[in-house]
C-alpha cells in the first residue's frame, strides 16, 4: 500500500515548489521565479510531447548557458526522455558523430548553431524534429520538417502536463567526453544517479570551510558550460535549494563581471582558464566590491597556486574540487576538517584548499599501484586514483572494450595519478598519460608546470615527455609569457634551482628544453591546455644528448 518511492529528478524540486521560492532565474533580460519555472517546464514537456517526444526518446540540446537549457535539464528527463547535452566546443564532424552515435531523435537548437547543424544534418539520420531557440525573440529559418520555435512551443502548450512516475533507473542524461585520443565517448546517467549525485555533492559543498561554503542564500552563477557533465551538478543543486540562479549565456569576461556585480552573485564553479580570463580583465578593479563577496570552486584541471593568490588578493574565496565526466562528476572537494580550525587563510590554502580534497559522501577513493595495492599515505608515493560510488557511469555507451578498461577490477579507473597524505587528502600529480617516464621514474608534469608558473614572466606552462633514446622520455616545457614580460632558459633554470634546494622537486626533473611561445597555449573544448598538438609538434624533436 505504501507507494514505491523512486529517486527521480522531479523529487529534487519538491521543496522549492512547496515553499514557492521567489528566487529568480536570470538570463539576459529574462527573469522569472522557480514557481514560474515549474509551469514553464510543464509547458515545455507538453509541447515536446506534441512534437512526438516520448519515454525513451533522445533529445539533444545545442545551446550556451540559458534558461531554456535549464528547462531542458528538468523537463526532458522528467518526461522519461534522455537529455543529450551536446558538446558544442567539438569540431562539427565530432558533434555529428556524437549525435549519430547517441541516435538523437530531437534537437533543441540555438540560432547561432543553425549553420553548423545544417551542415551535419544529413549525418544524423535518427532526427525527427527540431526546436529552434533564439535570444532575439524570432525564429531562425530552418528548411526541415517538424520544426517549432521554443517561444511558440511554450506559449502554445498547456501548463497542465503531469510528469509521469518513472523508475529511478530510467536513463536521464548522456554526454560525450572530448577524448584526447580518438572519437568522443558517451557517458550516461540515470535519474537515481543524478539524485544521489545532487545529495552527495550538496552535503560536500555545505561542508566546505565557513568562508567557502555553499549556502541556501547564495546567488549562483555557473561558469562550467551546461553541456559539460551536468555543469558539475549545479543546475540540479540550485533546483533543490531554490537559490537565485544567474546564467551567463556565451561566456564573455566583461558580461560575467557585470553579472557578478549587478545580480550580486556569490558562488561560481569554473576551470582555471576561465578564472584566469576573468582576472586578466583590465577593468577588474572596478568590480572589487563584487569580487570580495565571490566564492569559487575550481576543477577540471589543477588549480595553480599563483592563480589562487591573484584571486585571493581581490577577496575571492577559492577552493578546489575534483571529478570526471565519467563520475557525474563530483568526487572530492578541498574541505577542511576539525584539524584545520585554527589555520589562517594562507595556511588553509596550502594545507587544504589547493588540494584535490577529500571524497564527498558515498564516494570511495583509493590510490593504487599497478597491482591495485594501496600506495602508502606519505604524500609522496604516487598511484592511480580508482573510485566507487553510486553515481558513476556504468559504461561507455556502446563501447564494451573501453568500458572494460574503465571498470577493470570492479573499480572505476580515473587515469589520474595522485598522492595521499596521512589525513586522506588527495593531491593529483598528473594524468597517467601526462606523467613523464624517465629512467624508470615518474616526473609529474603538473607539479613542474605549477612551479614554472610561479616565475613572474610565465603566464602558462605545459610540460610534456619527449622521446629520448637514453632515458625513454625527458621533460620539455612549453611556456607562454605574460604581456610585456620575458625570460630565457637561464632564468628558468635559476628559478627551478630554488625549488630543488627547497626539496620540492628533483634535479632530474629540470626540463631538457624550454620552448617559449608568443601566443597562448592551445586549449581543449573545455578550456584546459591541450597537450595533444604540443606533443605532436615537440615530443620527437629533442635530439638525444
Q: Is 326 a catalytic residue?
A: yes
| Beta carbon of residue 219, minimum distance to a second copy (angstroms, whole number) | 9
403 binds a second copy (CB under 8 A): yes
368 binds a second copy (CB under 8 A): no
Give the cell for residue 438: 624517465
Whole-angstrom Cα distance, residue 233 to residue 139? 30
427 binds a second copy (CB under 8 A): no
* DSSP-based three-state secondary structure for 481: strand
Catalytic residue among 437, 467, 504, 537: 437
Among 77, 186, 242, 299, binds a second copy (CB under 8 A): 242
Segment contacting a second copy (CB under 8 A): 158-166, 214-222, 288-296, 309-317?
A: 214-222
The label of the residue with cell 588578493 reads 313
Whole-angstrom Cα distance, residue 426 to residue 386? 12
- What order do you get walking across the sheet with 383-388 strand by strand? 364-368, 383-388, 412-420, 426-431
Q: Is 487 a catalytic residue?
A: no
| Beta carbon of residue 313, minimum distance to a second copy (angstroms, whole number) | 27
Asked if 321 and 330 touch (Cβ cutoff 8 Å), the reply is yes
Q: Is 20 a catalytic residue?
A: no
320 binds a second copy (CB under 8 A): no
Catalytic residue among 49, 258, 442, 523: 442
| Beta carbon of residue 447, minimum distance to a second copy (angstroms, whole number) | 23
| Beta carbon of residue 84, minimum distance to a second copy (angstroms, whole number) | 21
* Touching a second copy, residues 323-342 (CB under 8 A): 335, 337-339, 341
On the CB side of 450, CA atoms within 13 Å amount to 23
Among 302, 318, 348, 358, binds a second copy (CB under 8 A): 358
| Beta carbon of residue 266, minimum distance to a second copy (angstroms, whole number) | 12
Segment contacting a second copy (CB under 8 A): 88-96, 181-189, 198-206, 432-440?
A: 198-206
Q: Convert residues 107-146 into a mask of x (bound to a second copy by CB under 8 A) and - (unbound).
A: ----------------------------------------
Segment contacting a second copy (CB under 8 A): 67-75, 138-146, 362-370, 459-467?
A: 362-370
Give the cell for residue 426: 588527495
Q: Is 437 a catalytic residue?
A: yes
Asked if 283 and 257 touch (Cβ cutoff 8 Å), the reply is yes
Exposed (0-12), middle (13-18) or buried (19+): which is 2, by Cβ within 10 Å?
exposed
- Report DSSP letters for 358-400, one per residue: EEPTT-EEEEE-TTSPBPPSSSS--EEEEEE-TTS-SSBTT-H
19 binds a second copy (CB under 8 A): yes
98 binds a second copy (CB under 8 A): no
CB pairs under 8 A, 24+ apart, for 88-91? 88/62, 88/63, 88/64, 88/113, 88/225, 88/227, 89/178, 89/225, 89/227, 89/524, 89/525, 89/526, 90/176, 90/178, 90/184, 90/525
Catalytic residue among 177, 266, 327, 393: 177
365 binds a second copy (CB under 8 A): yes
Whole-angstrom Cα distance, residue 31 to residue 49? 26
What angle do helix axes 305-313 and 445-453 make, rounded to 10 degrees? 40
Binding site for a second copy (CB under 8 A): 1-3, 5, 7, 11-12, 14-15, 18-23, 195-196, 199-200, 202-203, 206-207, 210, 215-217, 240-244, 335, 337-339, 341, 358-365, 388-390, 392-395, 403-404, 407-408, 410, 412, 422-425
Where in the sequence numbering do the catalytic residues fall? 177, 326, 437, 442
Amino acid at each position: 500500500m505504501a507507494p514505491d518511492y523512486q529517486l527521480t529528478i522531479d523529487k529534487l524540486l519538491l521543496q522549492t515548489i512547496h515553499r514557492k521560492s521567489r528566487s529568480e532565474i536570470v538570463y539576459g533580460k529574462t527573469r522569472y521565479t522557480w514557481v514560474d519555472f515549474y509551469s514553464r517546464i510543464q509547458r515545455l514537456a507538453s509541447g515536446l510531447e506534441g512534437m512526438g517526444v516520448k519515454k525513451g526518446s533522445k533529445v539533444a540540446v545545442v545551446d550556451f548557458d540559458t534558461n531554456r537549457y535549464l528547462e531542458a535539464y528538468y523537463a526532458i528527463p522528467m518526461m522519461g526522455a534522455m537529455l543529450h547535452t551536446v558538446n558544442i566546443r567539438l569540431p562539427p564532424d565530432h558533434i555529428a558523430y556524437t549525435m549519430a552515435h547517441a541516435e538523437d531523435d530531437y534537437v533543441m537548437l540555438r540560432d547561432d548553431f543553425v549553420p553548423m547543424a545544417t551542415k551535419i544534418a544529413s549525418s544524423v539520420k535518427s532526427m525527427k524534429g527540431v526546436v529552434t531557440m533564439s535570444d532575439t525573440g524570432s525564429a531562425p529559418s530552418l528548411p526541415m520538417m517538424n520544426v517549432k520555435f521554443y517561444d511558440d512551443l511554450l506559449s502554445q502548450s498547456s501548463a497542465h502536463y503531469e510528469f509521469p512516475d518513472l523508475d529511478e533507473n530510467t536513463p536521464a542524461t548522456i554526454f560525450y567526453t572530448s577524448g584526447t585520443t580518438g572519437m568522443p565517448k558517451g557517458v550516461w546517467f540515470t535519474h537515481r544517479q543524478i539524485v544521489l549525485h545532487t545529495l552527495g555533492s550538496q552535503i560536500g559543498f555545505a561542508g566546505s570551510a565557513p568562508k567557502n561554503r555553499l549556502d541556501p542564500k547564495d546567488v549562483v552563477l555557473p561558469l562550467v558550460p551546461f553541456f559539460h557533465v551536468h555543469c558539475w551538478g549545479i543546475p540540479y543543486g540550485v533546483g533543490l535549494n531554490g537559490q537565485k540562479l544567474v546564467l551567463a549565456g556565451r561566456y564573455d569576461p566583461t558580461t560575467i563581471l557585470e553579472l557578478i556585480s549587478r545580480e550580486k552573485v556569490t558562488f561560481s564553479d569554473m576551470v582555471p582558464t576561465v578564472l584566469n580570463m576573468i582576472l586578466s580583465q583590465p577593468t577588474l578593479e572596478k568590480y572589487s566590491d563584487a569580487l570580495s563577496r565571490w566564492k569559487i570552486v575550481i576543477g577540471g584541471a589543477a588549480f595553480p597556486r599563483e592563480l589562487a593568490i591573484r584571486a585571493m588578493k581581490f577577496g575571492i574565496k577559492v577552493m578546489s574540487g575534483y571529478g570526471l565526466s565519467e563520475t557525474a562528476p563530483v568526487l572530492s572537494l578541498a574541505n577542511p576538517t576539525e584539524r584545520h580550525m585554527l589555520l589562517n587563510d594562507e595556511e588553509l590554502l596550502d594545507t587544504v584548499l589547493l588540494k584535490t580534497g577529500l571524497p564527498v559522501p558515498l564516494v570511495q577513493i583509493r590510490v593504487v599501484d599497478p597491482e591495485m595495492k594501496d600506495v602508502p599515505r606519505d604524500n609522496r608515493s604516487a598511484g592511480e586514483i580508482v573510485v566507487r560510488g553510486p553515481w558513476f557511469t556504468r559504461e561507455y555507451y556502446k563501447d564494451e572494450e573501453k568500458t572494460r578498461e574503465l571498470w577493470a577490477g570492479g573499480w572505476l579507473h580515473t587515469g589520474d595519478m595522485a598522492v595521499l597524505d596521512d589525513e586522506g587528502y588527495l593531491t593529483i600529480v598528473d594524468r597517467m598519460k601526462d606523467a613523464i617516464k624517465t629512467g624508470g621514474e615518474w616526473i609529474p608534469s603538473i607539479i613542474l608546470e605549477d612551479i614554472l608558473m610561479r616565475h613572474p614572466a610565465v603566464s602558462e606552462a605545459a610540460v610534456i615527455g619527449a622521446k629520448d633514446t637514453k632515458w625513454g622520455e625527458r621533460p620539455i616545457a612549453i611556456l607562454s609569457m605574460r604581456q610585456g614580460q620575458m625570460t630565457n632558459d637561464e632564468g628558468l633554470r635559476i628559478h627551478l634551482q630554488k625549488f630543488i634546494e627547497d626539496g620540492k622537486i628533483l634535479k632530474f626533473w629540470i626540463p631538457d628544453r624550454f620552448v617559449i611561445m608568443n601566443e597562448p597555449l592551445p586549449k581543449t573544448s573545455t578550456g584546459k591546455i591541450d597537450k595533444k598538438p604540443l606533443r605532436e609538434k615537440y615530443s620527437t624533436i629533442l635530439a638525444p644528448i
